[in-house]
Amino acid sequence: MFISKNSIKEAGKKLRDGIETSKNLNLILAFRTNHISIMTTLANTIAKKLPKPQLLSRRLKRLSSIRIKLKRNSGVQLSTMQDIAGLRAIFKDKNEVYTFLNAVRKAYKSKKAVLQIIRENDYIKDPKQDGYRSYHLVFEYQGTKEYIKGYKIELQLRTLLQHYWATAIEIMGAIDSTNNIKIGKGSPEIKRFFYLAGLILDDNATSEEKEEFKELDKEYKILNLLGKLNVSYDLVQKNYKPKMKDLFVISLDYQRKKLKISKFDEKDIQDNLSFLGLELDEKRIDSVIVNGASIANLKRSYPNYFLDAQNFIKNIQESLSI
């Protein structure tokens, strides 16, 4: 579906201002859905031509996340947002990340490639202020499909330990919105706790920093809090056999610790706004749209939706010998 840049830009302004009419949401929905074919193109290249990551996941950006990003930065426009669609490739260690990165650059070095790398950010060698580590590549579509020409997609490369850290951050923000470090919120103590955790998992913490981490955990009992969380989940289609072309809305009700995994096909998402109800009740529910996979792979890719911080806790404890 072709959508003009001006119309999606205007829809983004309305979303930023809290104007959520059916017409406006339907336009944003269609714009977001248009990104699916770019995700498929990039995922197919990774599957067929590049070293295989330990885990590859893909998702469309949540409506709530789009709104937050628009409100936090008045200079950001929905029409040029680079991470409406995203892929995340997870590797055993940093060496594998950079080996894969070199292969990606080689695969897309031709000016005739339908996807062109337009930006790179190395948050592994130069972590963000909160301790976030990952390598980001932004691609722009320059193929023959005119309706998505100029659309962007983000590919994140990270290690398993970086993945455990990032999802633990999201879980903390989910159970306590005042400590949503991902969007800059959080008490100094909680921010410091996770910053030190990032150093520890990166094997880059001093003995003093490790002791400081232990003292913070002793006082605030964060590992204990994260370790007690769990959810029950309901897969709408019990006998589902994974197909990567399928789409799912994963919806977590934090109050009831209940996860619902609902299957949609692309036509449903293009033509029907009903599933957006799962995204709009943000006080109770957090949702994400992902490509189909087994429950095991969904849990590995999105442990935050299962409130599962066990790998984060295990690796921290092993690093500290506790």
Beta strands in the chain (DSSP E): 55-60, 85-91, 115-122, 135-141, 152-159, 232-235, 247-253, 258-264, 285-291
> Are both 189 and 137 inside the same structural domain?
no
Domain that holds residue 245: 232-306
| pLDDT tens column, 46-68 | 999 999 999 998 888 888 788 88
Domain boundary, last residue among 160, 177, 205:
160
Q: Do 227 and 309 contact (CB within 8 A), yes or no?
A: yes
> Are both 170 and 316 inside the same structural domain?
yes
Q: Which residues of the chain have pLDDT under 50?
A: 236-238, 271-274, 277, 281, 284
pLDDT at 120: 98
pLDDT at 243: 61
Looking at the structure of the chain, the number of domains it has is 3
pLDDT at 265: 61
> Are both 49 and 144 inside the same structural domain?
yes
pLDDT at 272: 46
